[in-house]
Amino acid sequence: NGAKKGRENMPVSIVKKYNLPNEIAVLKLYVNTYYDLQNHRIKAGNRIFALSEFNGVDPDIAKRLTVRLIGGKEEGVKHQGLMDVEVAVAKDIQKLGFQHDLWKRWLVDIKGIGPVLAGGWISSIGTISRFDTISKLWAYSGYHTVPANQAYIDRFKNAPHIAQALA
């Protein structure tokens, strides 16, 4: 499309928009690509089944077509598909994310956070030095703490005299 390229073939618009270091910008590109692939794979599979049902096509034919598109085995034959591309991109994210200090020192020990989720979080943070405290990083990420009775207090936002008495 003639777009100018920046660091390591990174589109200049991505680097400028987020003002990210190169390794974070590349990680962000891979994470966004992963989620886009996943979204398209799911939509395409759903569309195939919806069209087959709408047009009265045998569901087995839709299943075979979906296996060819998404990937998997059909009659003993392995088909490469979008799922295989997703897996390849996830492996690249893992390689990129494992180089980051946040992964090595902290995220690797948190159960339930895999390479794609960690890569997304790391790339959304950008440069960790922009946060003065760990509390500000947690708050930015949506993991800040609130008082145990905060939900109860929030119910009385329109009655400040009650909220103040409860605080």
Q: What is the pTM of this model?
A: 0.69
pLDDT, tens only, 51-79:
999 999 999 999 889 888 888 877 777 87
Asked whether residue 32 carries a pLDDT value surpassing 90, the answer given is: yes
Mean pLDDT score, 105-126: 85
Task: Report the percentage of the chain scoring pLDDT > 90.
Answer: 26
Q: How many CB atoms lie within 10 A of CB 13?
A: 11
Task: Report the percentage of the chain scoring pLDDT > 70.
Answer: 75
Is the CB of residue 71 less than 8 Å from the CB of residue 83? yes
Residue 117: closest CA among 139, 94, 138, 140: 94
Residue 34: closest CA among 90, 83, 78: 90
Residue 144 makes CB contacts below 8 A (sequence gap 6+) with 135, 138
Question: Which pLDDT belongs to residue 158?
Answer: 58
Asked whether residue 167 carries a pLDDT value surpassing 60, the answer given is: no
For the residues of 78-119, what is the DSSP string, one character each? EE--HHHHHHHHHHHHHHHHHTSHHHHHTGGGSTT--HHHHH
Tell me 11's DSSP state. B
Question: Which pLDDT belongs to residue 35?
Answer: 94
Asked whether residue 102 carries a pLDDT value surpassing 90, the answer given is: no
Residue 128 makes CB contacts below 8 A (sequence gap 6+) with 102, 137
Asked whether residue 150 carries a pLDDT value surpassing 80, the answer given is: no
Question: Which pLDDT belongs to residue 122?
Answer: 86
Asked whether residue 46 carries a pLDDT value surpassing 90, the answer given is: yes
Q: Let me know the angle formed at the C-alpha of 77 by 73 and 80, rounded to the nearest 5 degrees.
A: 65
Mean pLDDT score, 13-35: 79
Question: How far apart, in Å, do the first and last CA atoms of the chain sit?
Answer: 58
